[in-house]
A and B are shown apart, each in its own frame.
Chain A
Amino acid sequence: MSFESDLLALLPQLRRYARALTGDRAWADDLVQDATERALNRAKSFHQGTNLRAWLFTIMRNLYIDQLRGRRDIAVDDETAPWRQMAAPRGEVDGLVLRDVQRALYCLPVEQREVMLLVCVEEMSYQEASVVLNVPTGTVMSRLSRAREHMRVLLGEEPGRKTSPSSLKVVSRS
């Protein structure tokens, strides 16, 4: 398998991560575009035999962090926050209302959101996530643990209980 075809095979995953991270389809598509371009242009700096997925995700993550600095003003609760433009998910999974989970995810600070998405959605090992995030594996573990607890507080319920907590009102959107 060539470098290019390996890279192309990773694009759906890269896009899923970009969309989940930004909560913004257009921004995510631009990120994937820029990251892919940069990866192809820097193919020589990739060491054959090392983890291509981690390398590719690192490139995109660095782009995202750069771009985030210019967009600090986006407030989570703002009606115009990008994630609100995403299709509102319907239904529940394991007793959690997906819409609440979506909202809680974008209430997390970006450091917690990214580690959660890498490990829980992209199913990366702590080691792989530590490469992408450029932190030790111990930090991945502690940050993820905090993210999960934070999420639990934001969702404000033990699994199985359905009442909406006062700190998290259901957003009425059609």
Chain B
Amino acid sequence: MTSQDRPFEGGDRMGPPKPDRDLQALSAFIDDELHGDERDAVAEHIASDPASEATVAAYRAQDNALRALFADQSEPQVVRLRPRARERYLIAACFLVVGVACGFLMHMLLPAIGESPRFAERADIAYAVYAPEQRHAVEVAASQQDHLVTWLSKRLNRAVTIPSLAEYGFQLVGGRLLPDEEGPAAQFMYQNAAGERLTLYMTTATIRRNDSKIRTLKDGQRTTFYWAWDRVGYALSGQIGQEKLQAIAYDTCKELGGDPKNW
């Protein structure tokens, strides 16, 4: 019990000090907590004792003042219902799962949305490296086309088809095996009468979905059109002008089984 909690014995200003019990009775009287004889006795006492009457009046005044102080509480109370702790963990876990799923999906979709897939970049670089090569442009020449197809089909673990670009004036020079990011890739080189070269790059290693929509990668003078079909990534690179190359890319894609509706 603190000193403040101790009863206050009147003082000079309050008149003679009253015993605790009397004050409690007066207090209980105005709160309507007394019953029967006790109540009547206190009522009688108050009526005959001016000091007690003054005390009762003072207490009633306090009550009325306090009620007046806190009377105006009219605005509505807003209570937000938050989930319970266990539900919060559950919701957090759900968000985590959704977040991870979204991240995974984004990872799958990003190459299509943003930057080019790595195989297109590798195809472009392979073109830049081997197209200027005069003596060692290919490993296996077109004269051994059957061997070339068998060899690269085996290495790519796919039946490889080498499309003909003769109608555009490009003849097959030959092909070579190249390393892609996670496995082998094949590069076929074509050349026209003017000595201009194209390469068709194929890889199966990093292709996990079809996207036969043809996209473009430009790097300086070089242009690469690439697409993926039936788990093979294709990239046609050249420096013969974008429009001309695009026409060849579309036909090649179609010839290799791509769906023209996606272009």
Q: Shortest Cβ distance from B161 into chain A, in angstroms?
A: 68
Within 8 A of B (CB), among A32-90: 32-33, 36-37, 40-41, 89
Q: Decide: B33 and A12 in contact? CB cutoff 8 A.
A: no
**B1-18 toward A: CB 8 Å interface, digit per residue (1/0)?**
010111110110110000
Q: Decide: B66 and A117 in contact? CB cutoff 8 A.
A: yes
Q: Shortest Cβ distance from A93 into chain B, in angstroms?
A: 4
Q: Decide: A121 and B66 in contact? CB cutoff 8 A.
A: yes
Among B23-31, B94-102, B115-123, B137-145, which stretch is in contact with chain A? B23-31
Report the tally of A-B residue pairs with Cβ distances under 8 A: 126
**A141-153 toward B: CB 8 Å interface, digit per residue (1/0)?**
1111110111111
**A71-115 toward B: CB 8 Å interface, digit per residue (1/0)?**
000000000000000000101011110100110010011011000
B45 located at the interface, meaning its Cβ lies under 8 Å from any Cβ of chain A in the complex: no
Q: Decide: A153 and B8 in contact? CB cutoff 8 A.
A: yes
Q: Known: A37-B79, A121-B67, A159-B54. Contact between A12 and B8, CB under 8 A?
A: no
Q: Decide: A152 and B81 in contact? CB cutoff 8 A.
A: no
B31 partner residues in chain A, CB cutoff 8 A: 119, 125-126, 144
B60 located at the interface, meaning its Cβ lies under 8 Å from any Cβ of chain A in the complex: yes
Within 8 A of A (CB), among B50-88: 54-55, 57-70, 73, 77, 79-82, 84
- In the complex, A41 Cα to B81 Cα: how many Å? 10
B20 located at the interface, meaning its Cβ lies under 8 Å from any Cβ of chain A in the complex: yes
Q: Decide: B14 and A152 in contact? CB cutoff 8 A.
A: yes
Within 8 A of B (CB), among A1-15: 11-12, 14-15
- Number of B residues whose C-beta is below 8 Å from A? 41
Q: Decide: A32 and B79 in contact? CB cutoff 8 A.
A: yes
Q: Known: A15-B77, A145-B7, A159-B57. Contact between A152 and B62, CB under 8 A?
A: yes
Q: Which of B5, B58, B68 contacts A98 (CB 8 A)?
A: B68
- In the complex, A30 Cα to B33 Cα: how many Å? 33
Q: Please give me the residue from chain A that is nearest to B57 by CB atom.
A: A159
Q: Decide: B84 and A148 in contact? CB cutoff 8 A.
A: no
- Number of A residues whose C-beta is below 8 Å from B? 52
A96 partner residues in chain B, CB cutoff 8 A: 61-62, 65
Q: Which of A89, A102, A145 contacts B27 (CB 8 A)?
A: A145
**B125-150 toward A: CB 8 Å interface, digit per residue (1/0)?**
00000000000000000000000000
Q: Please give me the residue from chain B that is nearest to A124 by CB atom.
A: B31
A158 partner residues in chain B, CB cutoff 8 A: 13-14, 54, 58
Q: Which of A145, A151, A156, A159 contacts B24 (CB 8 A)?
A: A145
- In the complex, A15 Cα to B99 Cα: how many Å? 40
Q: Known: A126-B33, A145-B20. Contact between A93 and B8, CB under 8 A?
A: no
Q: Decide: B8 and A101 in contact? CB cutoff 8 A.
A: no
Q: Decide: A101 and B27 in contact? CB cutoff 8 A.
A: no
Q: Decide: B7 and A20 in contact? CB cutoff 8 A.
A: no
- B-side residues, CB < 8 A to A, are 2, 4-8, 10-11, 13-14, 20, 23-24, 26-28, 31, 33, 54-55, 57-70, 73, 77, 79-82, 84
